[in-house]
Amino acid sequence: MGTVEAGRASETRFPAFLQWVLTLVCALAVANLYYDQVLLSDIANYFHTSVGKVGLLFTFIQVGYTAGLLFLVPLGDRFNRRKLVLASLMLSAFWLIAMALAPDFPLLLLAGLGLGISTVAAQLIIPFVSSNMQGGNKGALTGRLLTGVFLGVLLGRVAGGWVGQIYGWRAVHFAVGAILLLVAAYLFFKLPEDLASKQVSYKKIVLSLWPLLRKEPLLRETILFGAAAFAAFNMFWVPLSFILAGAPYHLGNGITGSFGLIGIAGALTAGFAGRLADGSHAREWNIAALLTMAFSFLLLGFVWHIFLGLVIVTFVLDIGSRMNMTLNQGRLNHLPGTAHSRINSLYMVGYYLGGSFGSWMGNIAYQSGHIKGMVMGGCLFLSLPIIYYFWVGNKGVILKLLGTKTGR
């Protein structure tokens, strides 16, 4: 009876409409990271800057987001998450509007960095809801919020691309900034108080991250697998807008953003990959996912000038990327539950650091080597975890074979 009453109390604190609003907020927060990915060609033209230089904007946003994951998200274990969520939304709105008003490219980069740091609302909302709900609906709501996170990637690319093509890139930032302020106003009145118990020291939380990273080899391995995959992923996605804007396509931002819809294919593999993560060959499936991504880059070298071929490359790349991400996080769930929040934080920091580096290198590779540069760069990133797997992961077997061969 107590469980039923607890469930009803949770439903009272998080009624159905509020749950959907929070799902929307998660989508909007994640979308902030991807609007400019499909607007880079227009931004380059607006500020009269080069392809290589404008790519720094997406890198700055992701570097800022990584810093927010590392330093701001852990604040939720020490301070009131309700206030942190509202602050995140209002600061994100401020930086979006600042980007739209930026008079020059350096100030746009600074505002992009601020946007990345502040746009961590989704990573605050999920633990906020989870720690303030009881009963059987917790898992269902958490799953809904995670769906919002995934849809945010599609929203950022598709909506950003079409709105940017019709009204200009600055209109995207003004519109999203206004929406975030309206949502923050609603949540100010409707979001319940954070009643979860808090840690005594934020300093202790942060200082415990490095020892945890040293202690868990599985965490280090999945960070390498995730960072390399996201670096390669952005090695493709950042120059994509320039590929489609140039010969032989000459297409606008709307079509570029619509390529994000192909990402739905990756979502269909998530359940399958999640089951594989619980099996005894999860590491091998991780490598299969990375090899799938590498194949997509090799295919890119042959079919980049054919529209259907580019669609197929995006399809294969997204399936491999989503499988890799799901397998990594599924494997991490087998680590001690008392450290899951910190483990997830460390993994996501490594993941986005890799993505930031891939964004930066993607522009350099495209500018210096065009498609060949992208193919070489993507395959190089993906080769690192594969080499790690065959050397470090199976070092004993390899040394034994070498010893047998040399007579040792």
- Return the residue matching tokens 């920091």: 349
* 359 within domain boundaries: yes
Domain match, 186 and 230 both: no
Within 8 A by CB and 6+ apart from 280, the residues are: none
pTM here? 0.76
Domain match, 178 and 245 both: no
Average pLDDT of the chain is 83
- pLDDT tier at 303 (50, 70, 90 boundaries)? very high
Domain match, 271 and 149 both: no
Is the bond leading into 217 cis (omega within 30 degrees of zero)? no
* 175 within domain boundaries: yes
Domain match, 26 and 72 both: yes
- pLDDT tier at 336 (50, 70, 90 boundaries)? low
Within 8 A by CB and 6+ apart from 10, the residues are: 132, 133, 134, 135, 137, 138
Residue 369: predicted pLDDT: 87
pLDDT single digits (tens) 244-254: 888 898 887 77
Q: Are 85 and 187 in contact (CB under 8 A)?
A: yes
**Tokens linked to 388:** 């790690």
Domain match, 176 and 263 both: no
* 9 within domain boundaries: no
Domain match, 88 and 231 both: no
pLDDT-wise least confident of 42-46, 148-152, 263-267: 263-267
Nearest CA-CA partner of 311 in 268, 269, 265:
265
Say which CATH number the domain at 41 has. 1.20.1250.20
* 313 within domain boundaries: yes
Domain match, 33 and 71 both: yes
Quote the CA–CA distance of 152 and 293 in Å, as a whole number. Answer: 22
Residue 277: predicted pLDDT: 57
pLDDT single digits (tens) 378-399: 999 999 999 988 877 565 555 5
Number of domains in the chain: 2
Within 8 A by CB and 6+ apart from 212, the residues are: 219, 339, 342, 343, 346
Q: Are 241 and 41 in contact (CB under 8 A)?
A: yes
* 205 within domain boundaries: no
Range of 103-107, 279-283, 400-404 with top mean pLDDT: 103-107
Nearest CA-CA partner of 377 in 391, 390, 366:
366
Domain match, 142 and 32 both: yes
Domain match, 75 and 129 both: yes
Domain match, 244 and 186 both: no
Domain match, 187 and 240 both: no
Nearest CA-CA partner of 253 in 264, 263, 242:
242
* 344 within domain boundaries: yes
* 259 within domain boundaries: yes
Domain match, 103 and 169 both: yes
pLDDT single digits (tens) 203-216: 887 788 888 888 88
pLDDT single digits (tens) 12-58: 677 888 888 998 999 999 999 989 888 888 899 999 988 778 888 98
Range of 119-123, 156-160, 280-284 with top mean pLDDT: 119-123
* 7 within domain boundaries: no
Which structural domain range is residue 370 located in?
A: 216-395
